[in-house]
Amino acid sequence: MTRKIKLSHTEVEVKLFLEVLGVYGILALALVGIYYLEPAITGFVTVTKEFNYTDDVNLEFSESAEYTWNLANPGNLKSVKVSGKMDDQGEARVYIENNGVRHLIFDSTQLVEKESGMFGITGFAVSEDGESGVDEDSDEGEEEGEEIPINGTGMINDTIINETEIINQTAINETPIINESIEINETVINETTEKIININPDYGNNEFYDANNDGVESLDGIIDFSVKDSDFNWDVNEDKLCTRYEIYSAEGGESDFACFGNDDCCNLVDLESSRALWNESLYLSYGSYGSTTNNIVFAQVLYADYDLDTDAPYSDIAYSSWGNLTAKFLADIIEFEDICIDTCLFDSNASSYNLIVELDNTTLRIDEIKYLVEERVTNNDPILIKNIENISLMENENYTLNLSDYFDDEDEDGLVYSYNEMDNITINIENNFAYMKPDRGFTGSRFTFITASDSFGQVVSNVFKIEVISGKVSEERFEIRDSEDNKLAVFDSFGNLEIKGNLTQDILADENDFIIKDIDDSLNLVVTNPEGNLQIRGSLNKNEGVLNPGPDSFVIKNKNGEVVAYVNSTGSLFLSGTLAESISFE
C-alpha cells in the first residue's frame, strides 16, 4: 500500500451541532451549579474512611496460650482476619477478647480448601471496602490488500516475501569464542559504570503456586519466583538479558544452578539457557534443583551484548547484584489466609487486645493479622491527570479506554465512574476500564464526558468525541491467509488490525504459522494457523497516531507511504488504530 485513504467531512449536520451544543450546555450548567451551590470554602473535607492494615506478627504456638496484640495502627476496629499455617492434625481455635467477651476468629474445623490449595472459610465475610457480603471462597485483592498465504509465498506491493520474513538479514556469529578478558566463572564479569541493573526478586503472583507468597509450601507444593520487576537505567534490549539462579540447600550445603534468557548471556556464566525469556518465573518444588526442606534462592540479572569477530570485536556487559529469597517445604501442613468467623464484622476501639489460642494435638503459626480501622481523615478529591483524546474506531468494533491513565486520587481511594449517555454508543465501565460499544451498523460521531468519584468528591473530564468510521471506507488491506485462502489477520489502511483468534502471551510457532523474526532469529510476532491467534514478544500499543519505527522494524504502510503499523526489533506491535479479536471473516 502506498497511498493513504482519508475521510472527507465537509459539512456538519444540524442535529450533530445541536447535540454537541447540548453537551457543552449541560456541562456548563453543572459547573455553574457547583460554583453557586457549594460552600464558599472548598477543597479539603474531613470524612470517615476505612483503612486496611496488616501486622506481621509471626507467632508460633505448640500449646494453648494467650498473646497481647498491640495494633500498629490503633483506631475504631471494624474487622479482624488471620493468616498462617498449622499441622495437618488436631484442632486449633483463636479468639480475640474484647471487654471480657471472646469472639472467635479462627476454627480449624471450619476450614475449606480452595482451588489454589490454600484454605479459607466459606460464609459470611467483609469486603475490602468494609461492606458486608457473602464470601464464596473469594480471594481478596492486595494489582488488537494484499494476501500472504501461510504455506507458501505472497505479494506485498509486487514483492515476494517468505512466510518467515526476517526483519534484518545481517548475519551474526552463532558460536563466538569468548575473549580471555571476560571472566566466565567470576561474579564480577565485566565492570561497567554506564549501565545499572536493579534486581527486585519476589515471589511470583501465580495464585496456584505459593498463593500467599510467603515462600513456604507443603512437600507436594510449588513456590514461584520472579525478577520481572527489575529495572534498568537505560533503554535495555531485553533480548540480550538473562537471569541466573542459584538454589542453595541449607541441609545439603550444596547449590544447583539455572539460567533463563539469552543463550550467549547464559554462556558467559558457564550455563545453558533453559527458558527463552529472562523474566520467566522459576518454579521450585521439593527436590527440584537439589532443593530440600530449607533453601535460599539467589538471583542475578545480566546483560550481554558482544561480538568477538576479529575485524570489529566489542563487548557491552552489565550485571545486577545478587538478590535472594527463602524457600521452605514442610510436611503435612495446612496454609490458611484471611480467616474471620465472628470477627468479620467487629466494633471496638482499643490499642491492644488479647488473643486466646486453644490447641489440641497440633501446632499453629499466625503469620499476619489483617484488620480494618475506621478513621476521620481529610479527603482529597479525585483529579484529572490529562484530557481524554478524541477516539476513532471502525464500524462494528469496540474500544477499551484505561481510565487510570486519565484520573487519579491522591488518597488512593477506589474510584467510581459514570458517563454522559449518548445515542448509538454504550459505555460499560468495569474497575478502571471503559468498554465502548457502538450499535451494530452505526457510523458517525458522538460526544460525551466521564465523571470520577471517590464517594466524597468528584472530577469531570473534558468533552471528547467518539467517531465510528465506516468499515467500507477502504478496500486496501494487508492480509494474512492460510493455504486455503482463509483470512487469519487483516491490517487496514487506518492501522486497525482484525484477527480471527485472540491476543495471547505465548510465543510459539511451527512451520505452518506466519512469523516475523529479529536479527537474532528470535520470534517477534506470530499469527497461528489455523487459529488466527496473535502472539507478540513485546507489548501492544494502540491508537499511536503518528508512528516512527526504529531500525530493524517490520513496517506496514498505506497508499500514501505513511506507516500505519509496525513491529519493532524487540517484538512490540504499534498500531495507529485498534485491535479487534475473534473476528468471523466472510
Identify whether 152 is part of a domain. Answer: no
Please report the pLDDT score of residue 154 as a whole number.
29
Taking the chain (586 residues) in runs of 10, the rounded mean pLDDT of each run is 34 42 50 41 69 92 94 93 89 92 93 75 46 40 35 27 27 28 32 77 86 83 92 92 95 94 93 93 93 94 86 87 92 86 92 94 92 88 92 82 92 90 94 91 92 90 88 65 87 90 84 84 89 92 85 84 88 91 84
- Beta carbons of 53 and 371 less than 8 angstroms apart: yes
The pLDDT of residue 165 is 29
Give kind and range of the element (H or E) at residue 218: strand 216-218
Residues 6+ apart with CB under 8 A from 10: none
**Mapping DSSP to helix (H, G, I), strand (E, B) and coil, where does residue 405 land?**
helix
At residue 33, φ and ψ (nearest 5 deg) are: -60, -45
Whether residue 303 is found in the same domain as residue 219: yes
**Which residues touch 252 (CB under 8 Å, ≥6 apart)?**
290, 292
- What span, in angstroms and rounded, lies between the C-alpha atoms of 38 and 121? 46
Ordered DSSP codes for 117-170: S-EE--EEEE-TTS-EEEESS--------EEEETTS-EEETTEEE-TEEES---
**Claim to verify: residue 349 and residue 251 sit in the same structural domain:** no
Establish if 372 belongs to a structural domain.
yes
Q: Are residues 38 and 90 in the same domain?
A: no
Compute the C-alpha angle 369/219/83, nearest 5°. 10
Q: What is the dihedral of CA 405, 407, 410, 415, to 10 degrees?
A: -110
Look at the block and give the residue holding cell 471473516: 585
Q: Would you state the cell numbers that stand for residue 554, as one nine-digit string?
A: 517490520
Contact 208, 117 (CB under 8 A): yes
Q: Based on the fold, state whether residues 277 and 361 are members of the same structural domain.
A: no
Alpha-carbon span 292 to 355, nearest angstrom: 34
Strand partners, 103: 96
Do 428 and 373 lie in a common domain? no
The continuous run of DSSP H or E covering 21 comes out as helix 14-37
Q: Please report whether residue 136 resides in a domain.
A: no
Do 354 and 397 lie in one domain? The reply is no
As given in the structure block, the three cell numbers for residue 353 are 487486645
Q: Which residue has the cell 487483516?
A: 490
- Can you read off the three cell numbers belonging to residue 36? 453557586
The bridge status of strand 464-469 relative to strand 132-135 is unpaired
Is residue 26 domain-shared with residue 122, that is, in the same domain?
A: no
Helix (H, G, I), strand (E, B) or coil at 14: helix
Q: Check whether residue 559 and residue 493 sit in a common domain.
A: yes
In sequence order, what DSSP letters do the residues of 306-366 get, joined into one string?
EE--SSS-EEEEEEPPPEEEEEEEESSEEEEEEE-SS-SS--EEEEEEEEEEEEES--EEE
- Quick one: 326 and 220 in the same domain? yes
Sign of the alpha-carbon dihedral angle for 432, 433, 439, 444: positive
309 and 193 within one domain: yes
Indicate whether 560 belongs to any domain. yes
The one-letter code for the residue type at 422 is M
Give the Cα separation of 99 and 349 in Å (integer). 11
- The CATH number that applies at residue 401 is 2.60.40.10
The domain that contains 294 carries what CATH number? 2.60.40
How many independent structural domains does the chain possess?
Answer: 4
Q: Which of 469, 492, 527 is the last residue of a domain?
A: 469
At 436, which amino acid appears?
A: M
In a domain, 325, yes or no: yes
Whether residues 191 and 291 share a domain: the answer is yes
Say if CB 545 and CB 563 are below 8 A apart: no
Domain-embedded: residue 410 = yes
* Domain hosting residue 108, numbered range: 50-126+340-377
- In what helix (H) or strand (E) does residue 35 lie, and over which residues does it extend? helix 14-37
The CATH code of the domain that includes 367 is 2.60.120
Say whether both 56 and 37 belong to one domain. no
**Does residue 23 belong to any structural domain of this protein?**
yes
Residue 139 included in any domain = no
